[in-house]
A = this chain, B = another copy of it.
Amino acid sequence: MTATSPGTGRPTIYDVAKRAGVSPSLVSLVLRSPARVSDKRREAVRVAMSDLGYRPSRAATTLASSRTKSIGLVIDDYRNLWFVDLLRSMQAALSSHGYHVTVADSQPGENRIHEAIDGLLAMHVDGLVIAAEPGGSMPNRSWVPTVVAGWRNGVPEGADLITGDDDGGGRAAVEHLLMLGHRRIGHLSGTGGAAEHRRKGFQGSIVEAGLEVRIAGEAGGTSEEDGYAAACRMLEQYPDTTAIFAANDTMAVGAFAALKARGLRVPGDISVIGYDNSPLAKSRYLDITSVDNRSDLVGSDVASRLLARLEDPALKARRTLIEPVLVVRSTTAPAAP
């Protein structure tokens, strides 16, 4: 017979039980599988709950059941907005199953991704979604169902991978530019699994078309500043380039800066195409032609995969590829004849 009015003032199942005239166990059962409880008691318990304003304690539930009903999402950088769609569709799919999504960013620069993951694991998340580039090998202690979203180098052993077909997306971008009559096409790349695949797609299409492979920034980052720097190098080395395919929208904006500085107009003098179809690309002002990797689909896939794993942790890892879609906007135009 534990206390009835605990120190914190928050009502507990004991309070609810007392008020409803049932045992605490029954209250717990109502919480977990209401179907197993008779209609009469179930109603009584629910009434008592709302009368008391009862809210279950996550900490206690977690401690007792070792499940938190929460899943962690690790992203690279809040400023890279591609994760927003992913998050939204994950939330939509998971919340109906009672799961909660917590976002942690890996404080770009440092190898803080481990810290982010450790933090989430310390919170006992039931599952992990990694949407960031691991700085090295993934820590694999304390195993929880994990799925990786987007191409990454070093997918942890046993984790699912759900990603857009960045390879295909790269090819789609090139094909669009070829269709517009461009022949001297440059690519701004960067490090990371996603960028590598986009580059591979680019390179493949360019070679097949018998054109010169122009790539810059392969070894750099993928921020706006990196895009700017890569674009500068590109224009220096290949001044006659008529179209640029950037590894993401942010880098595309960096390229805009480089072009503006040189007095080149988009798309008049040079076409630019980005990747991710992020809010940046959708901006009415920027209005960037971009490859949409369907983060919304990736997100719902991630969610259902995670739910499946939560059911059966022994499920064997699987890779899923989502078809990207090119969204043509105002930064690409036919090549000057």
A: which residues have CB within 8 A of B? Answer: 7-8, 10, 53, 55-60, 62-63, 66, 68, 78-79, 81, 83-84, 87, 100, 102-103, 118-119, 121-124, 141-142, 224-225, 228, 253-254, 256-257, 260, 279, 283-287
Given A78-B84, A79-B81, A285-B254 contact (CB < 8 Å): yes
8 Å CB contact of A68 from B59, B102, B283? B59
Inter-subunit contact A58/B122 (CB<8 Å): yes
Inter-subunit contact B59/A253 (CB<8 Å): no
13 new A-B contacts at CB < 8 Å, known A225-B284, A257-B283, A257-B287: A7-B66, A10-B142, A55-B118, A56-B122, A58-B124, A79-B84, A100-B119, A224-B284, A228-B284, A253-B286, A254-B285, A257-B285, A260-B285
Inter-subunit contact B284/A257 (CB<8 Å): yes
Query: Which 9 residue pairs are nearest across A and B when measured between Cβ atoms?
Result: A59-B62, A257-B285, A257-B284, A59-B63, A256-B285, A59-B59, A253-B285, A78-B84, A79-B279
Inter-subunit contact B59/A254 (CB<8 Å): no
- Distance, CA A102 to CA B53, complexed state (A): 24
Q: What is the CB-to-nearest-CB distance from A13 to chain B, in angstroms, rounded to a whole number?
A: 14
Q: List, in ascending order, chain B residues with CB within 8 A of A287's CB.
A: 257
Q: List, in ascending order, chain B residues with CB within 8 A of A53's CB.
A: 141
* Count of this chain's copies in the oligomeric assembly: 2
Closest B residue by C-beta to A6: B66
Q: What is the CB-to-nearest-CB distance from A284 to chain B, in angstroms, rounded to a whole number?
A: 4
- Distance, CA A58 to CA B123, complexed state (A): 6
Inter-subunit contact B81/A121 (CB<8 Å): no
Q: List, in ascending order, chain B residues with CB within 8 A of A68's CB.
A: 59
Given A62-B59, A78-B84, A141-B53, A284-B254 contact (CB < 8 Å): yes
Q: What is the CB-to-nearest-CB distance from A290 to chain B, in angstroms, rounded to a whole number?
A: 15
- Distance, CA A57 to CA B123, complexed state (A): 8
Of the listed residues A59, A63, A79, A286, the one surrounded by the most CB atoms of chain B closer than 10 A to its CB is: A59
- Distance, CA A60 to CA B78, complexed state (A): 30
Given A59-B63, A124-B57, A283-B224 contact (CB < 8 Å): yes
- Distance, CA A142 to CA B57, complexed state (A): 12
Closest B residue by C-beta to A252: B285
Inter-subunit contact B225/A8 (CB<8 Å): no
Q: List, in ascending order, chain B residues with CB within 8 A of A119's CB.
A: 100
- Distance, CA A124 to CA B70, complexed state (A): 14
Q: List 28 A-B contacts (CB under 8 A).
A: A8-B66, A10-B142, A53-B141, A55-B121, A55-B142, A56-B122, A57-B122, A58-B122, A59-B60, A59-B62, A59-B63, A63-B63, A78-B78, A78-B81, A78-B83, A78-B84, A79-B279, A100-B119, A102-B102, A225-B284, A228-B284, A228-B285, A254-B284, A254-B285, A256-B285, A257-B283, A257-B284, A257-B285
